[in-house]
């Protein structure tokens, strides 16, 4: 078996691991991701830029990053200003950044402004029909339905992706009167 070492820290790793992570050990596997995978979200080109435009617009903290990507540009590459729309499970997303756009792909780049993804921290509550909750509550439904009054609603609730990452996630159904939960049935938790 060939000895393979992590590109980042040099620890010996299995060849299979190296193939899966582009040459990195598991703790450093994120370093082997492509630029779009590291940033996450759905990319959108805001504008095409010249090197001069980027030089004038980036702050001093991003000058070195720009110097590095500028050295990687090939004939035919485009320099773009981009933004991303976050996926629901992302803590933050790139509100703006610059990248080399090569052969219809984001080759590499850097983020100039990160924004907190509000959806990542939001619980979701959706009204559902009564048939769905009858199955969930099963035998208890007969007792519950006698206590319902007009205006009560049935909801499906799932806590935020943040709560699941913190091992405090909950997925449940409930009967709700105003802002008060009268009956609930936990479906899933971590």
Domain residue ranges in the chain: 1-33, 34-119, 122-189
What pLDDT score was predicted for residue 30? 85
pTM of the model: 0.73
3-state secondary structure of 150: coil
Mean pLDDT across the chain, nearest whole number?
Answer: 92
Q: What is the pLDDT of residues 22-78, one digit of tens each?
A: 899 999 988 888 899 999 999 999 999 999 999 999 999 999 999 999 999 999 999
Q: What is the pLDDT of residues 163-185, one digit of tens each?
A: 999 999 999 999 999 999 989 99
- The answer, yes or no, to whether residue 160 has pLDDT greater than 80, is yes
3-state secondary structure of 132: helix
- The answer, yes or no, to whether residue 1 has pLDDT greater than 80, is no
- The answer, yes or no, to whether residue 5 has pLDDT greater than 70, is yes
Strand order in the sheet with 153-158: 124-127, 153-158, 170-177, 180-189
All residues at 6 or more sequence positions from 106 whose CB lies less than 8 Å from its CB, including other chains: 35, 36, 43, 80, 82, 99, 100
What pLDDT score was predicted for residue 130? 81
């Amino acid at each position: 078996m060939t000895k393979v070492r992590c590109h980042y820290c040099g620890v010996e790793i299995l060849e299979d691991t190296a193939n899966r992570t582009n040459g990195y050990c598991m703790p450093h596997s994120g370093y082997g991701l492509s630029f779009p995978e590291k940033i996450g979200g759905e990319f959108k080109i805001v504008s095409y830029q010249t090197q001069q435009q980027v030089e004038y617009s980036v702050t001093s903290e991003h000058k070195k990053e720009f110097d590095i990507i500028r050295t990687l540009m090939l004939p035919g590459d485009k320099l773009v200003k981009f933004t991303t729309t976050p996926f629901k499970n992302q803590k933050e997303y790139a509100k703006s950044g610059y990248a080399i756009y090569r052969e219809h792909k984001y080759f590499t780049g850097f983020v100039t402004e990160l924004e907190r993804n509000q959806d990542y921290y939001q619980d979701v509550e959706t009204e559902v029909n009564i048939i769905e909750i009858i199955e969930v509550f099963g035998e208890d439904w007969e007792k519950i339905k006698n206590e319902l009054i007009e205006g009560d609603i049935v909801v499906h609730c799932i806590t935020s992706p943040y709560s699941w990452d913190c091992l405090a996630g909950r997925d449940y159904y409930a009967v709700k009167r105003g802002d008060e939960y009268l009956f609930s049935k936990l479906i899933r938790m971590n």
